[in-house]
Amino acid sequence: PGAPRINPSILSADFANMQADLARIASADFVHVDVMDNHFVPNLTFGPQMVERVQATSPVPLDVHLMIDDPDRWAPGYAELGAASVTFHLEAAAEPVALARRLRGIGARAGVAVKPATDVDRLFEHLHEFDQILVMTVEPGFGGQSFRADTMPKLRRLAEETRRRGADVWLQVDGGISADTIGEAAAAGADTFVAGSAVYGAADVDAAIAGLRAAAAA
């Protein structure tokens, strides 16, 4: 495995100072952009107009996480505005494989996410259709929740299956990732780590990113 990727989530940034808060994470790998629609999750953030401005301003590529209904309709627009990676929820997609192919066709990395209670086994036959699989380590909707260690067996099976099939897919975790929990997720097979409060809640953002990187590699 290569170096762990650290993707700070701007859900924990200051929405009134987004440009400054994006500039603070230049040492990260991607910026994680949480789009919520108040239907798929009980919270509302922003849509394509905001993400387009983040895309124009961010020092690092965009990792868009769509917590929305009907991604079959809306996800391609985020690829078209230039997001490097677009991840939709398996629970919300009508045709996940077809949608992943469309995202790749536009030039984005195609990602699929699962909530803590959602099984990943139906993805095993299709691992090569995706560039990233996101195992949610909290119930999606809010930052600052506690890491759910009960999702680790699922991540372990997914990592095992990925290796067995030789699939080139990044395994991402999102929710409650901190210097205390990142090692457990890395040991279970994650290589790509979202962190909101652990990065933006730190006095020294660069030190927080470096600390996560070190703890994931340990």
141 lines the binding site for ligand DX5 (CB under 6 A):
yes
Closest CA to 41 of 68, 76, 1: 68
CA atoms of 103 and 81, how far apart (whole Å): 12
Nearest to 62 by CA among 126, 20, 10: 10
Among 195, 208, 212, 215, interactor with ligand DX5 by CB under 6 A: 195
Residue 37 makes contact with Zn ion by CB under 5 A: no
Provide the pairing of β-strand 132-136 with 109-114.
Answer: parallel
Nearer CB in complex with ligand DX5: 9/55 = 9
What distances in angstroms separate CA 78 from CA 43, 132, 139, one per listed residue? 19, 16, 23
Q: How far is the CB of 115 from ligand DX5 (least distance, A)?
A: 10
Catalytic residue check, 70: no
82: enclosing H helix or E strand: none
Subset of residues 143 to 172 that bind ligand DX5, contact rule: CB under 6 A: 143-145
**Which residue ranges are tagged as binding site?**
9, 32, 34, 65, 141-144, 174-176, 196-197
Please report, as a single letter, which amino acid is at residue 121: D
Q: Which of 6, 12, 62, 63 binds ligand DX5 (CB under 6 A)?
A: 12
- Which parts of this chain interact with ligand DX5 (CB under 6 A)? 9, 11-12, 32, 34, 65, 138, 140-145, 174-177, 194-198
Q: Mind telling me the catalytic residues?
A: 34, 174
